[in-house]
Chains A and B, each alone.
Chain A
Amino acid sequence: RKEVEQDPGPFNVPEGATVAFNCTYSNSASQSFFWYRQDCRKEPKLLMSVYSSGNEDGRFTAQLNRASQYISLLIRDSKLSDSATYLCAVKSGGFKTIFGAGTRLFVKA
């Protein structure tokens, strides 16, 4: 089993739709969680950290479920510009971060 797993998609949604991604992790000692966005042939860019109580940044909401060992990302009112690959990242202490393989999102007009 991979340490961090994501549904690769692709998710094809119309503009204005709400879409949710999940990411599961296997190490119960994991401490820090992040979502990154990566556009084609570009570097990953930090989208948001994921806090235990859940957190929101505009149209984006991140949640953590420690009992079931997954994090989620909800995107409301999808825009064409949201089309990208979304990577979850998990730190289990120290400097090592494990990235999921990413979920591809296509938002269509």
Chain B
Amino acid sequence: DTEVTQTPKHLVMGMTNKKSLKCEQHMGHRAMYWYKQKAKKPPELMFVYSYEKLSINESVPSRFSPECPNSSLLNLHLHALQPEDSALYLCASSQAGTDNQPQHFGDGTRLSIL
């Protein structure tokens, strides 16, 4: 069982909808991440939060809006997505401040844009 919990597991939405993906971890990690993964491709980093502050934005379109309400929660707000945004969205967390700590992934939200 993963210690990083993501909801929903599946999401189908139209291009005009607004929805949010949620991620929660209780491992005391202070770094949290959003990745996008297309089929047969590696996870691609979207955002990193460190101590609840946005640390990295990998030039992600503004239709994706991250939010970190507290040290355990990470949200990804979606608005006016495109069909090419259909993918598996993975949340991950890790200890902050040390480079040799691995990331632990949630089981993802499979997103389909109609």
Chain B nearest CB from A38 CB (Å) reads 9
B residues 76-102 with Cβ under 8 Å of A?
A: 88, 90, 94, 96, 99-102
CA distance A101 to B103 in the complex (A): 17
Number of B residues, CB within 8 Å of A: 27
Chain B nearest CB from A65 CB (Å) reads 18
- Is A95 a contact of B105 with CB atoms below 8 Å? no
A-B contact pairs, 30 of them (CB 8 A): A31-B99, A31-B100, A32-B100, A32-B101, A34-B102, A41-B88, A41-B110, A42-B107, A42-B108, A43-B2, A43-B88, A43-B106, A43-B108, A44-B90, A45-B105, A46-B103, A87-B42, A87-B43, A89-B102, A89-B103, A94-B56, A95-B31, A95-B48, A95-B50, A95-B56, A97-B45, A99-B43, A100-B42, A101-B40, A102-B42
**Partner-B contacts on A (CB < 8 A):** 31-32, 34, 41-46, 49, 87, 89, 91, 93-97, 99-102
